[in-house]
Amino acid sequence: MDNFTFFTDMITEFVLLGLSSDPQIQTMLFVLFLGIYLLTLVGNLVMILVIRVDPRLHTPMYFFLGHLSFLDLSFSSVTVPKMLQNFLTQNKSISMWGCITQSFFFTLSGGTEACLLSAMAYDRYAAICHPLVYTMVINRPLCIVIVSISWAVGFLISLLNSLFIHKLYFCGSNIILHFSCELPPLFPLSCTDPIVNEILLAVSCAFLGLLTLPLILFSYSRVICAILNIRSSEGQAKAFSTCSSHLTVVLLFYGTALFRYISPASGSVLERVVSIQYSVITSLLNPLIYSLKNQEVKAALQRMLKQQKCASWYNKSCVILLRK
């Protein structure tokens, strides 16, 4: 009878508390995050389009960058649309399956992006420290393999953690002190001991960190040494400009994500702000950083706009001639 009562009391949906319960603040947040989301979509779609259209950008660096833009689109789209919906409605609920699905794709996008950032760090190391053999070592087949491995690692970590969520029973409070279904805020709501899930998540984060961070630290330590050995200040500035954008992205992503997953879940406002940084803001900043600090991307974008203007002018001329 106790078991029957236990299972009938299991909750079937969660309530995402979000960032604020004040209606006026929610309206302001809706406008703010709608603008951020639209800029994220436009910026990353433009990056993907420019890289795909311009043959001069068909290099390993921009191959990785195109996949990073796609990941940023996925990362932001997993959480922001639901957040925007909750800002406008009183019902902030999400079904249990919907919550688990959101956490699966959130972990998949985050894990894959961490692996891809480390691959991009190694690509910059090979380009600056070994320029003579760079094109032979970092070729397109190898890039495809690296991206595939990144997706496979992210999928495996996400799948394992999502499968073990099914072993938890939620029968108490269904209020998640967060704006999305990340894994840490879910564990305190379980009526069963989530120690196995917490250990699995910690091991997954440690595995991901040990897999990616040493490669990033090694790559950039060698890159900095190589830049310092360049005699001309102009050469140093050009080499540093090539890598500073990627280093900025890495610091933004890893710094906030490590802080979030190393510290215990408490449901504080600071945790939600940190989560916004690596899941929403970073996806917005990535295309801006790479486009504003990269002369090749600027030139490619200008060429694409000129081609569009020429095509538009040509079409108008054809229409005028046909009318005559």
| Distances in whole angstroms, Cα of residue 166 to Cα of each of 79, 99, 108, 185 | 21, 12, 17, 15
pLDDT at 6 exceeding the cut of 50: no
pLDDT at 318 exceeding the cut of 90: no
- At 60, list the tokens: 């390993």
CA 190/CA 212 separation, integer angstroms: 31
Query: What pLDDT, on the 0 to 100 scale, is given for residue 8?
Result: 44
Comparing 5 with 251, the larger pLDDT belongs to 251
Q: What angle do CA 294, 299, 302 make, to 5 degrees?
A: 130
pLDDT band at 264 (very low <50, low <70, confident <90, very high): low
Residue-wise pLDDT tens digits, 56-78: 888 888 899 889 999 989 888 99
Comparing 86 with 319, the larger pLDDT belongs to 86
11 in helix, strand or coil? Answer: coil
pTM: 0.83
Query: What pLDDT, on the 0 to 100 scale, is given for residue 41?
Result: 92
pLDDT band at 313 (very low <50, low <70, confident <90, very high): low
DSSP state string for 106-156: HHHHHHHHHHHHHHHHHHHHHHHH-TTTHHHHS-HHHHHHHHHHHHHHHHH
Q: Measure CA 146 to chain center.
A: 17
List CB contacts of 99: < 8 A, sequence separation 6 or more. 13, 14, 176, 181, 186
Contacts of 58-66 with CB under 8 Å at 24 or more apart are 60/123, 60/138, 60/139, 60/140, 60/143, 61/120, 61/123, 61/124, 61/127, 63/140, 63/143, 63/147, 64/116, 64/119, 64/120, 64/123, 64/143, 64/146, 64/147, 65/120, 65/290
Query: What pLDDT, on the 0 to 100 scale, is given for residue 319?
Result: 45
Percent of the chain with pLDDT over 90: 12
In the chain, how many H helices and how many E strands? 12, 3
Residue-wise pLDDT tens digits, 149-168: 999 999 999 999 888 887 78
Residue-wise pLDDT tens digits, 177-231: 888 888 888 888 888 888 888 889 888 888 888 888 888 888 888 888 887 777 7
15 in helix, strand or coil? Answer: strand
Strand partners, 13: 95
pLDDT at 311 exceeding the cut of 60: no
Query: What pLDDT, on the 0 to 100 scale, is given for residue 158?
Result: 92
- At 257, list the tokens: 């994500």
Comparing 219 with 270, the larger pLDDT belongs to 219
CB 79 within 8 A of CB 179: yes
Most confident option among 165-174, 194-203, 239-248: 194-203
> Element (H or E) spanning 95, and its range?
strand 93-95
Query: What pLDDT, on the 0 to 100 scale, is given for residue 321?
Result: 43
Average pLDDT rounded to a whole number, residues 117-121: 88
Residue-wise pLDDT tens digits, 286-308: 887 776 666 677 677 677 677 76
pLDDT band at 32 (very low <50, low <70, confident <90, very high): very high
Query: What pLDDT, on the 0 to 100 scale, is given for residue 5?
Result: 41
Query: What pLDDT, on the 0 to 100 scale, is given for residue 38?
Result: 93
pLDDT band at 267 (very low <50, low <70, confident <90, very high): low
Strand partners, 175: 15
Q: What angle do CA 239, 245, 251 make, to 5 degrees?
A: 120
Angle between helices 282-292 and 233-262 (to 10 degrees): 180
What length is written for the chain? 324
